[in-house]
């Protein structure tokens, strides 16, 4: 059974391992070098009721994580957050992303967030399908703004009122 627990400082090395996989093997993130633990702590907030982060468990195994982060560092945007979900390879395409999105959307509502934004590489079709399945609508398409693995990449943004 899939369940969620708040991320603690001791969970960061396992999160780093999952994230490093996506850094090295995909365009799911535009980081291009393995992340350090201090840099990861700048991305994943710990013990933050407004921008929570959760480990995703299947039985006793950590299979991913999901979190909210600030959209912009200006007070006028405090009603909005960015949503992210990362699953270990082998756990995608099984409905776990949908469960994670439902969980993080509930946490967003509790924290006073009204709008969630997903920012993705334009070729991340699996994540685009997930967001569309969850009722997010395309709000922006930024052409040729990223580069990774020698490819010029688009960024798309999806949003949903929660």
pLDDT tens digits, 29-43: 999 999 999 999 999
Q: What is the pLDDT of residues 140-152, one digit of tens each?
A: 999 999 999 999 9
What pLDDT, on the 0 to 100 scale, is given for residue 31?
96
Domains assigned to the chain = 2-161 (3.40.630.30)
| Nearest-5° Cα angle at 83, 32 to 89 | 55
The 10s digit of each residue's pLDDT in 43-90 is 999 999 999 999 999 999 999 999 999 999 999 999 999 999 999 999
Question: E strands within the chain?
Answer: 2-6, 53-58, 61-70, 80-87, 115-121, 137-148, 151-161
Backbone angle region of 115, left / alpha / beta, with phi > 0 → left and psi within -120 to 50 → alpha: beta
81-130 pLDDT, tens per residue? 999 999 999 999 999 999 999 999 999 999 999 999 999 999 999 999 99
- CA angle, 144 then 117 then 26, to 5°: 50
At 154, list the tokens: 């688009």
pLDDT band at 9 (very low <50, low <70, confident <90, very high): very high
**Would you tell me the crossing angle of helices 96-110 and 125-133 to the nearest 10 degrees?**
60
pTM equals 0.96
- In a 3-state reduction of DSSP, which class is residue 56? strand
CB atoms within 10 A of CB 85: 24
| Of residues 148, 69, 155, 76, the one with CA closest to residue 116 | 69
Rounded-to-integer distance, Cα 74 and Cα 41, Å: 20
Q: 135 near 110, Cβ under 8 Å?
A: no
């Amino acid at each position: 059974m899939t369940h969620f627990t708040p991320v603690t400082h001791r969970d960061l090395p396992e999160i780093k391992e999952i994230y490093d996989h996506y850094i090295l093997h995909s365009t799911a993130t535009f980081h291009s070098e393995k992340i350090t633990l201090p840099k990861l702590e700048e991305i994943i907030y710990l013990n933050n009721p407004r921008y929570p982060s959760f480990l995703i468990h299947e039985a006793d195994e950590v299979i991913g994580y999901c979190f909210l982060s600030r959209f912009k560092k200006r007070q006028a945007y405090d009603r909005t957050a960015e949503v992210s979900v990362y699953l270990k390879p082998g756990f995608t395409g099984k409905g776990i992303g949908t469960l994670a999105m439902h969980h993080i959307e509930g946490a967003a509502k509790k924290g006073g967030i009204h709008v969630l934004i997903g920012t993705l590489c334009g070729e991340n079709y699996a994540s685009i399908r997930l967001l569309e399945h969850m009722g997010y609508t395309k709000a922006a398409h930024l052409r040729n703004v990223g580069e990774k693995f020698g490819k010029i990449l688009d960024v798309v943004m999806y949003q949903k009122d929660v």
